[in-house]
Amino acid sequence: MQKTILITGSTDGLGLETAKVLVSQGHHVLLHGRNPAKLEDAEKTLSALAEGGHIESYVADLSRMADIEALAKVVAKRHKKLDVLINNAGVFKTSDPITQDGLDVRFVVNTIAPYLLTRKLMPLLGASARVVNLSSAAQSPVNLEALSGQVRLGYQMTLPLMRKAN
């Protein structure tokens, strides 16, 4: 049975690999990314899969509340139901750690965006629908002053697993 599945952050990494599997199983996959060029590349990669499912693409920057709202609205306008929502998008390293709203970008994308998107899409999620939230070891402990934009955090990779191989 074909499912309609939205995957945030599906232009590379785990999101793209998940989309490959789901498309190859014949599902209707809604791709999301903040970079239109990377989203187009992902769509081309997925379209090349033999006997793949249907693919749609949505551009939104999940560090912006207005983009989260707009994404939910356009998905709701085009679909009467959503079987699965996979909140995969995340941010670890960025050149500007504070959003336009004055909040820590990592906290917004990794925590607030999945919550808000899920809440906005609840009318599409029936009793058998599933929401999958992913997180990463790259997420540092929350600094309350950074949440309110009072301090900027350094983004040095200090975890052994996060170091680049030489």
- Cβ atoms of 91 and 109 closer than 8 Å: yes
The pTM (predicted TM-score) of the whole model is: 0.83
Residue 141 pLDDT level (bands cut at 50, 70, 90): low
* Beta strand pairing call for 28-33 and 130-133: unpaired
Domain definitions of the chain by residue range: 4-162
pLDDT digits 0-9 by tens, 108-129: 999 999 999 999 999 999 999 9
- Cβ atoms of 62 and 109 closer than 8 Å: yes
How would CATH label the architecture of 4-162?
3-Layer(aba) Sandwich (3.40)
Q: Which of 53-57, 131-135, 144-148 has the lowest mean pLDDT?
A: 144-148
Q: What is the pLDDT of residue 89?
A: 94
